[in-house]
């Protein structure tokens, strides 16, 4: 089975777990983990296996930063694995052990008294707010990519998502055989450029010093030797220019105008610790300070991964932090009230992955030929769900598409297309963002809707026309 399909099936299986009853009842939970990356998932596996019920608030980017890595080559036991598949495996392990997941993000935290209170909101529907009480909290919120702050990057007249991006894996497919630039000289920049060099005709790496900061020296050396990669040292971007719709070139500090189709930012990150200012100790750069191992300045509050780590910032070090935080949280709970490990019930059996093309389910397209055959077939209407495995709203839409497929079994065909694999289809239908729904009736494109809400509205109207 293709990795992307595997990842997709795991998402269907895992993405929308029923919340804990205790969340609804606002009882204090033993442990709430803020964030859904590798560190958070590792903590939850350890806690569940110790019999401590754990709620993970996954936030808007389940799986965290590593999901953007097309190939991880330094995870123990894996010679090469894409980041999303690695996360899917860990998340599945957490789920099998009984972890509860919620597609919420913390918007406020009150650590002034115990149990601690977390205010969270649904990442897709911001009006859905919950107040969650927790005896112990693990902060695993990671960090946010930095912006250059130059004209043309974002804002009303900027080209953010119209040629300016921060994730090559998410948006690189739009630049097949085109010219792109990657800004930065760290490991992220190397990874982004490496990925883009397999898709784009030409990749410029814009590095502001006369050397890279990257520690993956071998990887960097291999990258710069590629025929379609060119490094511009001692160069900064003064302005990102475009034609109003899309990026056309960069104005560089060297006074050169560099014609490009897209630019990917990879210039580092800021720790996501704002919620905790004034409540726990942070250092001058905003990283959460630790008193001992993962313990923060507040008892029962632990922090792991990139939000505490300005140096290593590796998925594996976040996982190590996650294990330590779980063991510390376990000891803390035992110390406050002899928390019994009977509260969690790890599932005895791993869940079985459902195959998406069962009767009455949307079928995952496995070749362009298959897509065009389905489009050509005008016997029954056809709904196409264009998605990317790395897009949160796509995952929200996916089960809705499956429900519709079940409802219209035999009357309307439903297929799903991973745009990362079939970029020609996106070009043909002028698709610049996902999720996008295409609706074909009598062999003609009758409807096209982009974005979660528009796609849902389009699905709602289908079958009624
Ligand atoms: P880094 O902070 O390591 O690098 C940021 C890069 O962007 C630097 O080259 C920096 O330049 C440059 N930069 C910063 N601001 C600007 C600006 N305004 N204009 C132009 N350039 C700018 O961030 P990374 O995200 O690359 O990596 C963070 C950490 O994560 C590192 O420890 C890295 O090793 C690790 N990592 C490891 C990976 C792995 O698979 N092993 C993958 C990705 C990250 P300058 O050098 O001049 O400051």
Q: In what order do the strands lie in the sheet with 363-364?
A: 363-364, 413-418, 382-387, 436-441, 444-450
pLDDT of residue 8: 34
User: Tell me: the pLDDT tens digits for 323-371?
Assistant: 999 999 999 999 997 544 444 544 433 333 333 335 678 999 988 888 9
Please tell me if the CB atom of residue 185 comes closer than 6 angstroms to any atom of ligand 1.
Answer: yes
DSSP category for residue 301: E
Q: Are 125 and 115 in contact (CB under 8 A)?
A: no
Please, what is the Cα angle at 80 between 421 and 169, to 5 degrees?
Answer: 35
Of 195-199, 282-286, 304-308, the least confident: 282-286
Residue 429 has pLDDT above 50, yes or no: yes
Examine the residue annotation and report whether 394 is marked as an active-site residue of this protein: no
Bridging pattern class, strands 179-183 and 202-206: parallel
CA–CA distance, 186 with 418 (Å, rounded to integer) = 29
pLDDT of residue 395: 84
Instruction: Give the model's confidence band at 6: pLDDT under 50 very low, under 70 low, under 90 confident, else very high.
Output: very low
Q: How far is the CA of 319 from the centre of ligand 1 (A)?
A: 21
Q: Which of 14, 82, 88, 167 is catalytic?
A: 167
Which are the contacts of 133, defined by CB distance < 8 A and separation ≥ 6?
Answer: 26, 27, 28, 29, 115, 116, 117, 118
CA–CA distance, 393 with 167 (Å, rounded to integer) = 16
- Tell which wins on pLDDT, 452 or 391: 452
Residue 319 has pLDDT above 90, yes or no: yes
Written as six digits, the tokens of 175 are 């630049």
pLDDT of residue 352: 31
Average pLDDT for the chain: 86
Average pLDDT estimate for 58-62: 91
User: Tell me: the pLDDT tens digits for 148-196?
Assistant: 999 999 988 899 888 998 888 767 888 999 999 999 999 889 999 999 9
pLDDT of residue 183: 98
Please tell me if the CB atom of residue 209 comes closer than 6 angstroms to any atom of ligand 1.
Answer: yes
* Residue matched to tokens 């974005």: 451
Average pLDDT estimate for 282-286: 91
Of 384-393, 405-414, 438-447, the least confident: 384-393
pLDDT of residue 393: 82
Q: Which atom of ligand 1 is nearest to the CA of 187?
A: 26
Closest CA to 61 of 27, 103, 29: 103
Q: Which atom of ligand 1 is nearest to the CA of 269?
A: 25
pLDDT of residue 298: 96
CA–CA distance, 346 with 43 (Å, rounded to integer) = 14
Average pLDDT estimate for 291-299: 95
Residue 238 has pLDDT above 70, yes or no: yes
- pTM equals 0.62
Which residue minimizes the CA distance to atom 48 of ligand 1?
A: 213
Name, of 9-23, 82-96, 409-423, the range with top average pLDDT. 82-96
Please tell me if the CB atom of residue 176 comes closer than 6 angstroms to any atom of ligand 1.
Answer: no
Examine the residue annotation and report whether 167 is marked as an active-site residue of this protein: yes
CA–CA distance, 448 with 367 (Å, rounded to integer) = 21
pLDDT of residue 173: 80
User: Tell me: the pLDDT tens digits for 102-141?
Assistant: 999 999 999 999 999 999 999 988 989 999 999 999 999 9
DSSP state letters, 335-390: HHH---TTS----SSPPPPPPTTSTTSPEEP-SHHHHHHHHH--SS-EEEEEE-TT
Average pLDDT estimate for 217-229: 96
Of 6-10, 262-266, 455-459, the least confident: 6-10
* Residue matched to tokens 């919420």: 104
Q: Which atom of ligand 1 is nearest to the CA of 149?
A: 18
Examine the residue annotation and report whether 171 is marked as an active-site residue of this protein: yes
Average pLDDT estimate for 85-104: 94
> Is residue 329 classed exposed, middle or buried when 0-12, 13-18 and 19+ CB atoms within 10 A define those classes?
buried
Which are the contacts of 164, defined by CB distance < 8 A and separation ≥ 6?
Answer: 152, 153, 154, 158, 240, 247, 262, 263, 265
Written as six digits, the tokens of 444 are 């003609």
Report the Cα 26 to chain-centroid distance in Å: 28
The count of other CB atoms within 10 Å of the CB of residue 221 is 12
User: Tell me: the pLDDT tens digits for 255-272?
Assistant: 999 999 999 999 988 999
Please tell me if the CB atom of residue 186 comes closer than 6 angstroms to any atom of ligand 1.
Answer: yes
Bridging pattern class, strands 413-418 and 382-387: parallel
CA–CA distance, 128 with 136 (Å, rounded to integer) = 23
Written as six digits, the tokens of 456 are 């849902």
Q: How far is the CA of 449 from the centre of ligand 1 (A)?
A: 37
Q: How far is the CA of 268 from the centre of ligand 1 (A)?
A: 4
Q: How far is the CA of 266 from the centre of ligand 1 (A)?
A: 7
Residue 391 has pLDDT above 80, yes or no: no
Residue 301 has pLDDT above 90, yes or no: yes
């Amino acid at each position: 089975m293709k990795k992307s399909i595997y990842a997709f099936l795991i998402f269907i299986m895992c993405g929308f777990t029923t919340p804990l009853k205790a969340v609804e009842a606002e009882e204090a939970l033993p442990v709430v983990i803020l964030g859904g990356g590798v560190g958070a998932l590792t903590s939850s596996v350890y806690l569940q296996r110790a019999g401590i019920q754990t709620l993970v608030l996954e936030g808007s980017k389940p799986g965290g930063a590593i999901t953007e890595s097309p190939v991880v080559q330094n995870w123990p036991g894996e010679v090469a694995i894409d980041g999303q598949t690695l996360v899917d495996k860990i998340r599945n392990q957490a789920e099998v052990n009984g972890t509860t997941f919620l597609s919420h993000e913390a918007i406020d935290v009150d650590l002034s008294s115990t149990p601690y209170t977390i205010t969270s909101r649904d990442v897709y529907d911001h009006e859905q707010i919950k107040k969650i009480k927790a005896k112990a909290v693990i902060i695993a919120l990671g960090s946010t990519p930095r912006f250059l702050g130059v004209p043309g990057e974002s804002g009303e007249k900027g080209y953010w998502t119209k040629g300016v991006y921060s994730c090559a894996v998410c948006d690189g497919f739009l630049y097949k055989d085109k010219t792109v630039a990657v800004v930065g000289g760290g490991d992220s920049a190397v990874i982004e450029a490496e990925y883009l060099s397999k898709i784009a005709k030409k990749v410029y790496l814009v590095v502001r010093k006369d050397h890279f900061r990257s520690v993956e020296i071998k990887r960097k050396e291999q990258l710069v030797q590629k025929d379609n990669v060119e490094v511009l040292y001692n160069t900064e971007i003064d302005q990102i220019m475009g034609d109003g719709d899309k990026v056309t070139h960069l104005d560089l500090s060297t006074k050169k105008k560099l014609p490009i189709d897209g630019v990917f930012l990879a210039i580092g990150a800021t720790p996501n610790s704002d919620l905790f200012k004034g409540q726990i100790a942070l250092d001058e750069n905003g990283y959460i300070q630790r008193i001992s191992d993962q313990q923060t300045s507040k008892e029962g509050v632990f922090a792991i991964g990139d939000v505490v780590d300005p140096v290593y910032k590796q998925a594996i070090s976040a996982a190590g932090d996650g294990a330590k935080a779980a063991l510390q949280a376990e000891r803390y709970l035992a110390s406050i009230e002899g928390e019994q490990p009977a509260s969690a019930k790890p599932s005895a059996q791993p869940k079985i992955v459902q195959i998406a093309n069962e009767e009455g389910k949307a079928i995952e397209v496995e070749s362009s030929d298959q897509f065009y055959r389905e489009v050509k077939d005008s016997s029954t209407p056809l709904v196409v769900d264009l998605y990317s495995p790395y897009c949160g709203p796509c995952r929200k839409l996916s089960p809705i598409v499956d429900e519709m497929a079940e409802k219209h079994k035999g009357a309307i065909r439903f297929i799903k297309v991973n745009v990362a694999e079939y970029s020609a289809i996106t070009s043909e239908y002028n698709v610049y963002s996902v999720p996008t729904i295409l609706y074909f009736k009598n062999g003609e494109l009758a409807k096209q809707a982009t974005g979660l809400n528009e796609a849902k509205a389009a699905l709602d109207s289908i079958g009624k026309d």
